Amino acid sequence: MSSTSSRKIKIAIPALVGGLGVIIAIVFMLSFYSQNSLISNASPDQNLGGSFTVIRCNDVLPATSILETNGFVTIKPRTSATPELTPGVPTSGNEPGIYEFVLKPGSTGIVTMSYDFCAGKGESVVNSSDNKTTSGELKIFFDSFNSTNKGIDKLNAEAFSSSDNTPKDPLSSLMTKNNVLPTTHISHANETGVDIRTSNITRTSDHAVKVTYVISADPSSNKATYIITNFFRTCPGELLTIGDEPNEKSAEWAKGPFYGCVG
């Protein structure tokens, strides 16, 4: 370092020390103003450093839609009321419908969904007295749907081998005519080599969030079709096939009937 540079530093440091109290006060004021400006003027897709609050209207079921998907071989609608997914276009309605997500072993799929907790109420909810939910509470809630906590259900193709798939008991969707359970619950999803979990929760408005789910399949994961209820507000669930192509038996399951789903 040159002697000129050294002299400049020696002169600058005492000047800084002499005005240190003033500088600290200015920095504190700027920091306080900046933080409050960020909170009061949060733009869409800001998670405020990971901590935020959203309004949850008591008399409204969350409107749910699929925003983005990535990493899948294909995604196939499995009912006539389920539309094709279009990149960049959210699904419409209160729930997205039944899709079959096809994922190769040794790969990862990503599904991002939106949840509007006060759908149809517009901006009037800003001054609402309804419940306020923190990001921490949302994380605990969405994590409860992870496959390690909730498990997954394996589709039994043999249950749909008959040409007549009418349930034996009209009050139950569990038994088919050939007396085989259409699904088998697997409490520990890691036994299948499949892991489904929430990776990110972001506030998009005062009463809405988007949630990213990550589905991972080990290279040695079982090639099978599963009914997954690990995405919040998808009833009776979505279909996940580990393999290279859709499983046509999943279309038979998607015909239902299903009981207990609320639109």
Residue range 171-211, pLDDT digits in tens: 344 444 455 678 889 988 778 999 999 999 999 998 999 99
Residue 54 β-bridge partners: 133
Residues 24, 129, single domain; the answer is no
Q: Could you tell me what percent of the chain has a pLDDT over 90?
A: 46
Give the residue numbers spanning the domain of 172: 48-254
The predicted pLDDT at position 162 comes to 54
Q: State the total domains in the chain.
A: 2
What is the DSSP code (8-state) at residue 128? -
Mean pLDDT along residues 209-234:
94
Q: Could you tell me what percent of the chain has a pLDDT over 70?
A: 68
Residues 24, 87, single domain; the answer is no
Residues 67, 27, single domain; the answer is no
3 state SS of 251: helix
The predicted pLDDT at position 127 comes to 57
Of 44, 104, 78, the closest CA to residue 234 belongs to: 78
- Position 238 in a domain: yes
In which element (H, E) is residue 141 found? helix 135-143
- Position 259 in a domain: no
**108 against 6, higher pLDDT:** 108
> pTM of the prediction?
0.74
Residues 120, 64, single domain; the answer is yes
Residues 76, 152, single domain; the answer is yes
- Position 261 in a domain: no
Predicted confidence (pLDDT) at residue 259 exceeds the cutoff of 60: yes
Residues 221, 102, single domain; the answer is yes
- Position 247 in a domain: yes
Residues 113, 68, single domain; the answer is yes
Residues 241, 184, single domain; the answer is yes
Residues 53, 155, single domain; the answer is yes
Residue 110 β-bridge partners: 70, 214
